[in-house]
Structures are given as structure tokens and as C-alpha cells.
Amino acid sequence: NAGVMQNPRHLVRRRGQEARLRCSPMKGHSHVYWYRQLPEEGLKFMVYLQKENIIDESGMPKERFSAEFPKEGPSILRIQQVVRGDSAAYFCASSPYGTGNGNTIYFGEGSWLTVV
């Protein structure tokens, strides 16, 4: 039973390029969350999606960042025109239910973005 799969695990982009991070939730999970971890900091909530819907994007920067979770395929976190401050680990998590106790949320191993 595969866990939450994220790719790429490591990504290097030059300033101004686009970064696309992909997340395949655990089998049977239709709820996806993206969190960002800046160096030496805790994880910060970015966005919560269900299939084809963005439920809460209150943690997403207003510009350059977007997320989607299409009917078919993985969830995508897209960062346009990356800047050095976007360098971070981006974690995807999934859960089988929309409401829960936190113990139903499973994290992937993360995608480490480095902007040079």
C-alpha cells in the first residue's frame, strides 16, 4: 500500500523559472493538503483541495502560486517566476475524509525546491 508519493524529490530552478510539484495521494484518499517548510521552521499550511475543488487556500501567497487536484492524475503545486525565498521543502499530505482528528492525515516525503 503505497504512501503519499511526491515528485520530484529535489528540484533546482533558476530565478524566474517555473516549478511544478506533483503529489499522488494514498489510495482511496480524495483530500490533499500542501504545506511548506522553510529552513529551520515548522510546516505552514498552504492549501487544501478535494478532487477538482480548492477548499481553503488561505495559506497560499497571493501571487505566483497555484494548486490544482484534477479529476484524474496527481495534485499539482505550481510556482511561477520563482525567487530565492521560495526555496523550501514542500510537503503534500492526504486523508480519506475531509474532517478528522489529524491522525488521518499522512505526509509524503517532500519536494525540496532550491532556487539559484
Partner 1 sequence: QQQVKQSPQSLIVQKGGIPIINCAYENTAFDYFPWYQQFPGKGPALLIAIRPDVSEKKEGRFTISFNKSAKQFSLHIMDSQPGDSATYFCAATFSGGYNKLIFGAGTRLAVHP
Q: Which residues are near partner 1 by CB under 8 A?
A: 4, 31, 33, 35, 40-45, 48, 55-56, 91, 93, 95, 98-105, 107-110
Answer for the pair 33, 50: CB distance below 8 angstroms, yes or no. no
State the Cα–Cα distance between residues 37 and 10, nearest whole angstrom: 14
Give the nearer residue to partner 1 in terms of CB position, either 17 or 54: 54
Q: CB 91 → partner 1: shortest distance, Å?
A: 6
Q: CB 97 → partner 1: shortest distance, Å?
A: 9
